[in-house]
Amino acid sequence: MEHPVDSIIKNREEIEKIIRSAGQFMKSHPPQITEVHRKEGLTNFVTDEDVQIQKKLMEELKNLFLCCNFYGEEDTQGNDKDGRKGLCFFIDPIDGTTNFIFGYNHSCVSVGAGYDGQMIAGFVYDPYVELFYSAVRGYGTVLNGIKLQIRNSSLAEGIVSFGCARYNNEGDTDALFQIMKELYLGSLSVREGGSAALDICRVASGANVVYLELKLNPYDYAAASVIVEEAGGVISQVDGLPITMDRPCSILAGTQKATEEVRSICARYLRKK
């Protein structure tokens, strides 16, 4: 039986072609013609394009990998959200939906592959600036075909990125912005880009030294987790525990030095759950 990593490698070109096509579909649908719907939670939106892209990705990936499961953001047929057994694709059809709605041109298609609950590959495509990050476990990370390797910079040497989706904060808003004040004072600058996948990938490329968010869903970080690790970075929950692939968790990704510094700062502000 073919190992799932070998299967991903063998079909890598076709996977990337499928994801590029989805990204171009997103780019070709300007916000003026987008139908926006609300999901549970404050400022939690879904567009018709989110649903259409997820359906397209699921259909085409299923044609490549007959025995696979899906853990996608949107509630579409065949999306069982169980990545614990076998090959599972974690799909965020438009990571940065609010950006997409308001024409920020800063969103991406994010597809991660896991096997028996462990991430083995990640693909993140930003069609607006033609950046394609990809990684397969054991084979490194590439950005537009160029291999990435993170320099182990400290907090003071780089830019900090963070996420603050209002439907995810669960009462930790004050703590988050107290933390961010310290990170602002201790780094070169801070950014909030509105796309967790892209901001974690920017850690892999060296543009960000660290990324922090207090709650994300597996489809938000699945692909980017492999991309950052294969580039030499680290990713975990804020308290240092491994990330979870079956439920939401906090995310701290970055260089070894910077994540250790940020974890120490977070511990002073975050209440015990």
Instruction: Please give the pLDDT value at position 5.
Output: 93
The CATH 3.40.190.80 portion of the chain extends over 155-267
> How far is residue 142's CA from residue 132's CA, in Å, rounded to a whole number?
8
| pLDDT of res. 42 | 54
**When comparing pLDDT for 170 and 58, which is higher?**
58
What pLDDT, on a 0 to 100 scale, did the predictor assign at position 273?
Answer: 44
Between 81 and 120, the higher pLDDT residue: 120
Return the CATH class of domain 4-148.
alpha beta
155-267 is a CATH 1.10.287.1080 domain:
no
Whether 130 shows a pLDDT value over 50: the answer reads yes
Residue 45, pLDDT > 80, answer no
Which residues of the chain does CATH 3.30.540.10 include? 4-148
Arithmetic mean of pLDDT over the chain: 91
d(CA 74, CA 99): 17
For 211-248, b where at least 16 C-beta lie within 10 A, e where not — what string?
bbbbbbbbbbbbbbbbbbbbbbbbbbebeeeebebeee
Q: What are phi and psi of 73, to 5 degrees?
A: -70, -40
